Structure formats: structure tokens, C-alpha cells
A and B are shown apart, each in its own frame.
Chain A
Amino acid sequence: MENEKSKLGWKLSSIALGSVLMIGAMAVEVIAKDWGKHQVDNRRSGYTYMTDETRAVQDDDFENPGMLWVENGESLWSTAGANGKSCASCHADPDKDMKGVSVSYPRYDKKLGKIITLEQMVNRELVEKMGDKAEKFDSKKMLSLMTFIGTKSRDMPVNVKIDGDANPFFEKGKAFYYERRGQLDMSCANCHEDNPGNMIRANTLSEGQINGFPTYRLKWQKPGSVHRRFKGCNKQVRAKPYKAGSDEYSNLELYVKWRGRGLPGETPAVRN
């Protein structure tokens, strides 16, 4: 600074320059922040876009309200269905049997000939193996089972298959992502690819990664499925949302999950 001051000879401009340099240095510091496991290459989990307070709630399993659903799911795991079988009858050790499951869904299903989400897979098991009714995506039972299964894939990298039979559906999901829709004529990419980190009204946009789903959303005051989140996004651009479990959203889920490849499973994540 001393050298620059004598060169410029003008005190005021050197102060101005000094502050410009300082702001520059601060900006670099923010960009270069080390997010540890929550960042892979240039992809950042929604965790990194939250406030410190929200992150603290997620980090402490006791404080994390999503864990209430996990506990419920744990007890449901060994609760028998209509024909006397429970989840535990086949998957006796969920710690092992369900490891890495949620980070590898949605998958291509040969029987259906299309993409199947984990919710639909759970429903198939409930109906065919246990003789129970199919659950809605955001019913208490489904969310409990989903969050419980999700915790078994914590810190495991998101890894969905997009080649082979799954590829045409992946391409459909990608097309959906970049397609403008609704009265506001916006695509998913307009917010989540072009503007992560910027404010949209009072909210900070994230990259729209889904590695922490089902996510406990403070606004919802309960966990919610990925498809519920998609519906919310579609409504906000004033488009008519599709139904939870529709092919459009299943394909989109596959594509969006792939965008977060390598990010750790965070279920149940806490977001605002």
C-alpha cells in the first residue's frame, strides 16, 4: 500500500483503491469457501445456501425435526401389514439392506417399462408383498419410510443410472428441465442453473439439488417429497403442476438427481 500511495500521490484515490481491493479480496474469499463434502466439483448441495442457523438444525440429529419421521419409520419397518409380513420380514437388517438405496433411485424398471421412483417401489412392496394399501407420496407413513430409508444412505454419493434403458427417460427429464412453462414463461434452468445464490424475493435460490430429500422444510413444518417440491416450483411460475408420481416428474427427478451426482445423501435435510 505504501508504494501505491506514493505513486498515486493522491490520498483519496488510494483509499478508494484500497477499499476496492478489499472488496475484491472478500468476494474471492466467499467463492473459495471450502464446503467440504457438500461440494463436488462446481455442484453445491442446498445445504450451502442455507443460513448458519438452519444448517445447525440439520447437523444435530436431536434438533433435526425430520428425525421424528425417521423414528416413526423405524417402528413401521417392523410393523406387520395385512398379510402378517413386515418390511423386516425380507429386509431384516435395514442398515445393510437399505444402504445406498435412496441415492440410486429413481431407476428404470423392466416390469413397468419406465422410470420408477423409490416411493412407487415402496408402494409396490406394500401392496404386493404386505397386502396393504398404496400410500400417497406425502402421507405420514410414506414420508416416515422414505426418511428412514434415506438415512441409510447418508454421506453416500448420489449415483443414478442414466445409460441403457434409462437414457430416453433421462433425455425427457432434461428436456422438461430446459423447457419454459407457465404464465411467467420460465424453465427450471432459469432459476436453478442461471441464478443460484441470488435472491428471488426473500429467498435465496439454490441449485435445486435433491440429495437431501425427503427434506424437512421449515415452511411446510414437515418433510416433503421431491414431487411436492416440483409441484410448488411449477405453481410459482404459474404453470399447472403435474400429479405426484406422474411420468413427467419421475423423468425430471432422474435428471435432477443426476445433476447432483456425487453429492452426499443428507436425508432428512432441513431447508427453509
Chain B
Amino acid sequence: MAKARVKAPKKAKAGDIVTIKTLVTHKMESGRRKNKKTGKLIPRHIIDKFTAKFNGETFFSSDWHGAISANPYMSFSFKASKSGEFEFIWHDEKGEITSKKSKLTVA
């Protein structure tokens, strides 16, 4: 199971544009590397989709392909308007899902 770190503000004023930073542990095996001992290709195993939701509604998502580094870092912006809960979801190629939640209070 991958481990995720999220840095999202807890409080914001209505209309503020906040920056969210995320980092997830994943080997992001490209499928191009060879096992040094056997000479066989190591099968590809990457995270292929990242979604960020606010109160269940997707506001940011991205499809990932090869050539993304191990332990990918992602940062993006969000315009705060009301209080709610963020949910960040990483979809692994093998169907494994890593998610993390964070609350935002808009004053």
C-alpha cells in the first residue's frame, strides 16, 4: 500500500486561491528496466490516474503515463468558496487505490 502525504490548508477565506501539495510513495516501475540477474524486463507498474475531489465533486484529475518519477509529487490550486472535505485518490494500474482526506473550513 502506498503511503500519501498531503499539504492542504485547514482554513481559508471565501474566494482565496489555495495551493495543495501532494506526494505519494510508489516505485513507478516503467516496464523498461531489466532485472540485472535474469535479463528479463520488469513488468510495468505505475499509478495511472490521480483525482482530487471536494465534497465528492472532482475538481482536478490527471492521467499519468510512463516517464513519471518514483514517489511522484503533484501541486495544484483550488479556489475556496465553502467548507468541506477534500479527497485525494491515486489509482494504481493493478487496481490498488490510495486515498487521503483533508478538511477545509471557509470563514
Contacts and interface: CB of A to CB of B under 8 A. Distances in A.
B71 A68 contact: yes
Contact of B21 (A62, A72, A221, A222): A62
A63 B69 CA distance: 13
Given A68-B23, A68-B25, A62 B7 contact: yes
Nearest to B25: A68
A65 interface: yes
A62 B69 contact: no
Interface string B16-56: 00000101010110000000000000000000000000000
Interface in A60-95: 62-63, 65, 68, 71-72
Contacts of B23: 62-63, 65, 68
B3 A65 contact: no
Contact of A222 (B5, B7, B70, B73): B70
A21 B4 CA distance: 53
Range for the number of chain A residues in contact with chain B: under 10
Contacts of B28: 221
Contact of A65 (B7, B21, B27, B71): B71
Contacts of A218: 69
Interface string A93-126: 0000000000000000000000000000000000
A68 B69 contact: no
Contacts of B71: 65, 68, 221
Nearest to A60: B21
Nearest to B28: A221
Contacts of B5: 62, 68, 71
A38 B103 CA distance: 38
Contacts, number: 26
A63 B25 contact: no
A141 to B, nearest CB: 15
A117 B78 CA distance: 47
B66 to A, nearest CB: 14
Contacts of A62: 5, 7, 21, 23
Contacts of A221: 27-28, 69-71
Interface in A199-241: 218, 221-222
B69 to A, nearest CB: 6
A71 B25 CA distance: 12
A63 B21 contact: yes
A218 B70 CA distance: 9
Contacts of B27: 221
Nearest to B70: A221
Nearest to A63: B73
Contacts of A65: 23, 70-71, 73
Nearest to A218: B69
B37 to A, nearest CB: 16
B100 to A, nearest CB: 14
A96 to B, nearest CB: 26
Cβ-closest 7 pairs across A and B: A221-B70, A65-B71, A62-B7, A68-B25, A62-B21, A63-B73, A221-B69
Interface of A: 62-63, 65, 68, 71-72, 218, 221-222
7 contacts: A62-B7, A65-B70, A65-B73, A68-B5, A68-B23, A71-B5, A222-B70
Given A62-B23, A65-B70, A71-B5, 13 more contacts: A62-B21, A63-B21, A63-B23, A63-B73, A65-B23, A65-B71, A68-B23, A68-B25, A68-B71, A71-B3, A218-B69, A221-B27, A222-B70
